[in-house]
Amino acid sequence: MNNRVLGGAVAAIAVIVVLGFVLIPRPSGTGGATPTPVPSPSPSQLPSAVPSPLASPSAAPSLAVIHPGLLCETSVCVSGALDAGTYTIQAGAFAPADLTFTVPAGWTTDSGFVRKNFDQNPPSAVEDSPNELTFSTWFVTDIYTDACHWQTTMVSAGTTVDQLASHLVAQKGRTASTPTTTTIGGYPGKQIQFTVPASFDMTKCDNGVLHVWPDPNQNGSGGLCCQAPGSTDVVDVVNVSGQTFVVLARHAAGASPADLAELNGIVASIRIAASPATPKPSGASPSP
77 three-state secondary structure = strand
Q: Three-class SS of residue 261?
A: helix
The answer to whether 41 touches 207, Cβ cutoff 8 Å, is: yes
pLDDT along the chain (288 residues), means of 10: 34 33 43 42 34 37 87 91 96 92 96 87 60 94 94 91 95 95 93 94 92 84 88 95 92 95 97 64 40
Measured in whole angstroms, the distance separating CA 210 from the mean position of its chain's CA atoms is 13
The candidate with the shortest Cα–Cα distance to 80, out of 63, 61, 59, is 63
Residue-level pLDDT at 274: 73
* Confidence (pLDDT) at 275: 56
Calpha distance 260→220 (Å, rounded): 31
Predicted local distance difference test score (pLDDT) of residue 218: 72
Q: What is the pLDDT of residue 125?
A: 43
- The three-class DSSP label of residue 248 is strand
Task: Report d(CA 145, CA 157) in Å as an integer.
Answer: 10
> Cα dihedral angle (149, 251, 230, 58), rounded to 10 degrees?
90
112 and 135 Cβ atoms separated by less than 8 Å: no
Model pLDDT for residues 198-213, shown as the tens digit of each residue:
999 999 999 999 999 9
Is-contact 103 84, C-beta < 8 A? Answer: yes
According to the model, what pLDDT value does residue 138 have? Answer: 94
Cα distances (Å, whole numbers) of residue 98 to 101, 134, 204, 267: 10, 20, 40, 15
